Structure 1
Amino acid sequence: MKKNRLMALLFTGAMLLSMTACGKDPSELVYLKDFKPDKYVTLGDYTGLPTTIAAPEVTEDDIDTAIMNSGLSDDCKVPVGDRDVVEVGDLANIDFVGTMDGEEFEGGSGAGYDLLIGSGSFVPGFEEGVVDMKVGETKDIALTFPENYYEEMAGKDVVFAVTVNSISTYDREKAREELEQSAKETYNSQVAAELIDTLKQSSTIKDAPSGMVDRMNQTLISNVTAQAGAYGMDAGAFVAAVYGGTADNYEETLRTYSQDVANQYMILAAIAEKENITVTDEEVTEDIRASLGADATDDEVASMMESIDEEAYREYLLTMKVCDFLAENAVTAEE
């Protein structure tokens, strides 16, 4: 589990700024494109490998839970076109301004907020007050905060001026497709991790070139240092607390994991070579665009492309493709 956390940190390093800032001559950094993986890896069988992980299934309860927890993207929303009155179960887009004794209070206002009516996510009585409102209507909803609310507002009388901007709902079929895609990605990742462990045992592997390990180690150190800083910790203490080992030997711990991940990259690259799995420039660009959001401009995409280590990102996408290939060709082991 700890190793998987470190690998996740390493994968996200593809989005870091160029590693040249880490003090290593760029000419000394090695990528998969710079050597033939089959010179370092003799693969064992990699298709039809058994997995103990069950294929995912999305149930109606899963969809209900995702809707109630706002766990779906905007792509799953569809406007309500046959009425203009809010009902329980609707997603009402609202503006609201909360006042107490005639004065706005902190945290009591919002604009363009999608509120699922019936979710119970707002103060008791608020959602009930929005029911039967029409699109474009504004009305005051007078409420009293519960006595067990946080101290500053407990038991206080307030008024919310609420405007309904639009009404939408979740398309359950789109929700199912989104959840199934997410479940598939998680499944493929879990299966691939299991199968890579199998391949490490069945394949003959020479250690990856030191320049590749150096690059991955720089990425991992940068990511760990950033995460540690976010928690107000130094890197050694963070690695010891979260990933094991001691603060004194954290650099050795990270170096060992970097070597391991570099070797795993070589296994995946060797499979990619045999199966003619590649990543095009267009796929790199489109994945960057998707990570920025559907409304990302060409300039924003170009700016991101300039800020990342593009070849490392290409490697990451290649490994993900191979992981999908392994999972899709796995066989569920007999119970």
Structure 2
Amino acid sequence: MKKRILALTLSVLMAASLAGCSKQLSNEYITVKQYDGLEVAKVETAEVTDENVESVIQTNLGTSAADGGITDRAAENGDRVNIDYVGSVDGTEFEGGSDKGSVLELGSGSFIGANGDYKGFEEQIVGHKSGDEFDITVKFPADYQNADMADKVAVFKVTLNGIVPELTDDWVKKNSETSKTVEEYKKEIRKQLEDNNKESMENTLQNNALEAIADQVEVKKYPDGALDEQINSIKEYYTNMAAAYGMEFKDFVEQAMQMTEEDFDKQAKEAAETALKRKLACELIAEKKNLEPSDKEYEEQIAEYAENGQYESVEDFKEQVGEDTVKNAIRQQKVGKYLADNCVQVEQSDSSTETAK
């Protein structure tokens, strides 16, 4: 079910993020009035701070604890530890009471503290070594934010994966492919964050350009059956989402989406029309501007999608999502980059921001 919903989500999102561009382009279905020089909201690249760098380093240290943490002593107050835990009350696991790879500073008071005859969660980890599996019994306070758990006694099965190591040159040499010292590692992490921020900025700009093209598209007619197919795809997505929550479609629309089925049908039709306009525009621009990806580009990108989506194979991914849907997404990415490279970024005033909202 989860894979099916992921596939449908990808299908809907890919159909809804296309493009267009300056001189008019036209075919039997649409006319794109402008595609070069589109005005889009200016996008700034986020600054990387020392705090950002430190946060990533601490996360990496915590993640490495299970493989290369401190193993020659027991955990002490003030240590950061990597733990798995499963909590239960009267033998029944409860929501929010389990986690894997959680990094906790002992003595920080982040977890349940001492209560009457019951010791606190963190102090019961002190004295254990990496690899130990043990039970911790705690009592939730009477004023606990989740009233259902107030005053309840819970047992947590805990695995101490490791004690988080300090950042040293030795740790860096074992955990970085390029850095040898702490200072080099900090520069490496900063560069990674800067690259990520730049990529995020470029993606946002491309999305803005793809959205801007919708106002430049005039539709003459839709391909036979294309609009109904898009509407059905949207409805199928939400029908499956309702099923995942154990709800009938009608109840899901009314309760979760706060609308009537009639309102849903109206909005689904509008969304389908917008998605289809953009899809047709993207195909037209790709054809006229020689932006259609090569077979090699398609296969490489499809393989990346399959890997990121943790599918068993590329063929499994194609079958689940649909090869045509994936190819549309890849084409849209390429056209989106072209639009972004040729757009005009403009500052947004407060009034235009409010209007957009």
Among 35, 38, 42, the residue aligned to 1:46: 35
Task: State how far apart, in whole Å, the 2-side matches of 1:56 and 1:75 are.
Answer: 27
TM-score w.r.t. structure 2 length? 0.61
SS in 2 for 1:117: strand
Flag the 1:159–1:12 CA change in 2: closer, same or farther, 3 A: closer
1:268 is displaced (CA, Å) by: 1.9
Alignment equivalent of 1:308, drawn from 279, 297, 321: 321
TM-score normalised according to structure 1 size: 0.64
Match of 2:161 in 1: 165
Residue matched to 1:135 = 130
- Cα deviation for residue 105 of structure 1 reads 5.5
In 2, Cα distance between equivalents of 1:97 and 1:220? 38
**Change over 3 Å in CA distance of 1:98–1:52 after alignment to 2:** closer
Distance (Å, rounded) in 2 between the aligned partners of 1:254 and 1:97: 42
**Following TM superposition, by how much is the alpha carbon of 1:217 offset from its aligned partner in structure 2, in angstroms?**
1.9
What's the CA shift for 1:264?
0.7
What corresponds to 1:234 in structure 2?
249
Q: Are 2:113 and 1:113 aligned?
A: no
Determine the C-alpha separation between the residues in 2 that align with 1:159 and 1:175. 41
- Distance verdict in 2 for CA 1:318–1:155, change over 3 Å: same
SS at match of 2:161: strand
Inter-partner Cα distance in structure 2 for 1:266 and 1:146: 59
Structure 1 vs Structure 2 CA RMSD: 4.8
Q: 2:331 aligned with 1:318, yes or no? A: yes
Show the 5 A alignment for 1:157-306.
160=156, 162-167=158-163, 177=192, 181=196, 184-185=199-200, 187=201, 190-229=204-243, 230=245, 232-235=247-250, 238=253, 242=257, 247-248=261-262, 250-273=264-287, 274-278=289-293, 279-292=297-310, 297-298=312-313, 301-306=314-319
SS of the residue 1:280 aligns to: helix
**Structure 2: tracts of 5 or more residues without a match:** 1-5, 14-24, 114-119, 168-184, 349-357
Q: Deviations over 1:175-199 (max 9, x none)?
A: 98479648845x5565445434533
CA drift of 1:222 comes to 0.9
Deviation of 1:333 after TM superposition, in Å, equals 1.3
d(CA) in 2 for partners of 1:238 and 1:148?
36
Q: Which runs of 5+ in 1 are unaligned?
A: 1-7, 16-35
Q: Distance in 2 between matches of 1:82 and 1:52?
A: 46
Tell me the percent identity.
21
Query: What CA distance in whole angstroms lies between the structure 2 residues aligned with 1:83 and 1:39?
Result: 68
The answer on whether the counterparts of 1:220 and 1:254 sit within 8 Å (CA) in structure 2 is yes
Deviation at 1:147, TM superposition (A): 2.0
Would the aligned equivalents of 1:49 and 1:195 in 2 still touch at CA under 8 Å? Answer: yes
